[in-house]
Amino acid sequence: MCGIIGYTGTEQAAPILLDGLRKLEYRGYDSAGIAVLYDNALTVCKITGRIANLSEKTEDGKATPGQVGIGHTRWATHGAPTDENAHPHKSNDGRFAVVHNGIIENYQALRAELVEKGYTFESETDTEVVVHLIEMYYEGDVKNAVIRASARLRGSWALGVLCTDCPDTVYVAREASPLILGAGVGENYFASDITALVSYTRNVMYLDDGEFAAVSPAGITIFDGTGRPVEKKLHRITWDVAAAEKGGYEHFMLKEMMEQPRATEATISPRIRDGEVFFEGFALGEEELRSIDKIVITACGSAYYAGCAGKIAIERLCRIPVSVELASELRYADPLIDEHTLLVVLSQSGETADTIAAMKECKARGARTVAVVNVVGSTVAALADHVIYTWAGPEIAVATTKGYTTQLSVLYLLATYLAGKKGSVPRERYDACVAAIRSIPKLIQEAIDLNAAALPRLARKYCDHASMFYIGRNTDYAVSLEGALKMKEISYIHAESYAAGELKHGTIALIEEGQPVVALCCNEDVTEKTVSNIVECKARGAEVLAVTFRDNGRVISQADDVIALPRMETVFSPAVEIVPLQMLAYYVARERGCDIDKPKNLAKSVTVE
């Protein structure tokens, strides 16, 4: 995710901006830049790579005079990580510079309109439309131009705007992207993240969606979309800097789990327009679709498990055979893949060695490839014929959470898209799927809220066991695979997932007094069957923790403990069902004193075989 910072006051701005950007480094970025106003002119300096490079280029900011400025760290979304795509972006008349955190969803239409009007673009970014819109609407009043430009945008934004006609004021705007104003004495600040501000001021105000502010050394004026002033309370920050980097959360994993409603929303909402699913830069024509006789999903670890859940949705809705293959196996399997295969490659990092190798192997055999990736410009993205990005933002904890749920979100969109193209579901079912996918972010939030108080208590109950079983059927089984992986990778408890129907074929021999069994029961088609398995486990002394709908009395009455979920569409339920299981693993690991963000022996990105 991008980060932004702004300063206006009596000190030289550039060193403060660079320092703020360094504080934002932990979020991940691929390029950075600053713009400073001095002598009624804008100096913009931006560069691909580390902030150290930007520091070097500006002699730690000393070579860039001026007491008002804006800065940005970019996590590439639209357009590769290049100097041109780095922020700030300037208007054609050189009067404005803009930094932006978020995604402008309607940028293509706006870009076409601006090109038509004669504006020229220097980058591939969605952001650049903003600065040209502001120039277009400017009639001597920056505040008005920023309001009018913002009214044309759809998506999310935290904006910082400099104008050569206002030598000491920075204008900011917010919609669905964090923006914090920092109040000093004779100097004021803003940033996308408190981390960038706390060493300068602990007095902050939070801008809300649809609000704007003019930030000058004399003060901060907040106003709404009609220009009317808005009163804000000043808050005092008491966290230390290290906590602030994690947004006040104890661990990145916890922060990233809590970000899932926002991350899935950012992944889903730009892909649904007027009730139809579409993907920017990816479309299958009728002919092409007819020629595909199977889909192969390949990935590693959690991404593979996301594929297992995605397979169920695609097969149910599209009636196309889907196989899910571990990339480490597929690469050596002499696979039955040809030009009639659509290969879907899942990877958060886009740099997993086995995934890349499997992809190359399948491409060489003629497969068409669609990559579902979080990191723009990564190897998997570069190799693919089509890329669908998950807009999860950088994931820092080794254990993936929002990476998994955003991958599932894309797979569900893809399943619905293909079903629509193939006509394999009636229109009402298509509409119901779109509505169900749209509701995923809200349901994830509900799942978090419903279980936030109980999970630490459940974790205390289960944390001392040597092993845990996870059971489920169909979609529930797919989620249990990921739930068990989360538990073992961060808590080091041996956790295994079994298809519930397989218990009798061997595994039930291991069930003894006190053995914890996490029983997933959100798939109503098979609930009765799983309830029978719960009863069998209990008869042998197991402690059953059921994951089910909050009103599913049939399951609740059999369980020792319950993780309760809101009701949801079965085929898409894994995206919600997994969240309390991530949280359970997190709290168990915390009870056991594990190094949650950096579990032993694991790396965030497995770039070697």
Binding site for ligand AGP (CB under 6 A): 300-303, 347-349, 352, 355, 398-400, 403, 489, 605-606
* Of 2, 166, 433, 537, catalytic: 2
Q: Where are the beta strands (DSSP E) in 525-576?
A: 543-549, 561-565
Cβ closest to ligand AGP, residue 211 vs residue 361: 361
CA-to-CA dists, residue 211 to 118, 137, 179, 221, 387, angstroms: 30, 18, 10, 11, 34
* Of 57, 360, 529, 604, catalytic: 604
Would you state the structure tokens that stand for residue 457, as one six-digit string?
A: 């208590």
Q: Residue 500: what are its φ and ψ, rounded to 5°?
A: -55, -35
- Any catalytic annotation for residue 246? no
Q: Please tell me the number of Cα atoms within 13 Å of 459 on its side-chain side.
A: 22
Would you state the structure tokens that stand for residue 212, as one six-digit string?
A: 């704007």
Closest approach of ligand AGP to the CB of residue 495, in Å: 13
Closest approach of ligand AGP to the CB of residue 309, in Å: 14
Cβ closest to ligand AGP, residue 103 vs residue 371: 371
Which SS3 state, helix, strand or coil, does residue 460 take? Answer: helix
Closest approach of ligand AGP to the CB of residue 608, in Å: 12
DSSP state of 453: T
Closest approach of ligand AGP to the CB of residue 358, in Å: 11
Cβ closest to ligand AGP, residue 17 vs residue 308: 308
User: CA-CA distance, 102 to 100, in Å (whole number)?
Assistant: 6
Would you state the structure tokens that stand for residue 31, as one six-digit string?
A: 């390029």
Cβ closest to ligand AGP, residue 185 vs residue 602: 602
User: CA-CA distance, 206 to 182, in Å (whole number)?
Assistant: 9
Place of tokens 């602990």: 202
Dihedral in degrees, nearest 10, Cα atoms 480, 481, 484, 488: -170
Q: Which residue is nearest to ligand AGP, using beta carbons?
A: 301
One-letter amino acid of 33: G
467-472 vs 368-373, strand pairing mode: unpaired
Q: Which residues contact 167 (CB under 8 A, 6 or more apart)?
A: 37, 40, 68
Closest approach of ligand AGP to the CB of residue 489, in Å: 6
Cβ closest to ligand AGP, residue 347 vs residue 527: 347
User: CA-CA distance, 30 to 32, in Å (whole number)?
Assistant: 7
- Any catalytic annotation for residue 45? no
User: CA-CA distance, 86 to 89, in Å (whole number)?
Assistant: 8
CA angle, residues 277, 283, 284, in degrees to nearest 5 = 110
Closest approach of ligand AGP to the CB of residue 90, in Å: 35
* Residue 281: burial class (beta carbons within 10 Å; 0-12, 13-18, 19+): exposed
Closest approach of ligand AGP to the CB of residue 349, in Å: 3
Please list the active-site residues.
2, 604
